[in-house]
Amino acid sequence: MYRDYLNSEALPRDIYAQPRMIPRGETPFRDEYETYIQAYPGRGTLKVQISVARGAFPLKNVLVDVSQIYNGVRYSLYNDVTDISGIVDNMVLPARSLESTLNFEDAQIPEAEYLVTIFHPDFQELSDCSVVIHDKTETILPISLVPLTEGRDNG
């Protein structure tokens, strides 16, 4: 699907039509969603910044996929491509509530952990980068990609 986007004049929203928010009741979790939301009633946001040359240059048109493994099943929550600033942001994700982090009885509930996969055909793919989301907090995940060297002529 990503290669189709690169070879067309389509906008990212035309290729990746998945909504950028998780409205109540509309989610890939379906039946398991209510159980998950009861355990993770908080909301935090994720911002992913993609660059090259150790952060010197932002990289646009990089596919960012945010997913989670819940009860042994992997659910993709967001698919989007970076803008001209190398950023995908405003991804609202469930998290432990702020109150539950202060309550000893709720300490058995693990933090809300998500997996971020980054893909661009000219760079090494980054798979399953772990990020923890906290309630009422924006988490920024800076990633610097490494160019592929296979098949390139250096001379």
Please list, residue by residue across 18-49, b when 16 or more beta carbons sit within 10 angstroms of its beta carbon and e when fewer do. Answer: eeeebeeeebbbeeebeebbebbebbbbbebb
- Mean pLDDT over 62-80 rounds to 87
Which class would CATH give 2-145? mainly beta
pLDDT at position 37: 74
- Identify the burial level of 95 via C-beta atoms within 10 angstroms of its C-beta, where 0-12 means exposed, 13-18 middle and 19 or more buried: buried
DSSP 43-62: EEEEEEEEEETTTTEE--S-
Residue 106 has what DSSP assignment? Answer: G
99-142: pLDDT as tens digits: 877 776 666 778 899 999 999 999 999 999 999 999 999 999 99
pLDDT at position 7: 54
Distance CA 122, CA 101 (A): 41
CB-based contacts of 32, cutoff 8 Å, min separation 6: 70, 71
2-41: pLDDT as tens digits: 445 455 565 544 544 444 444 444 445 566 766 777 788 8
Which residue(s) pair with 5 in the sheet? none
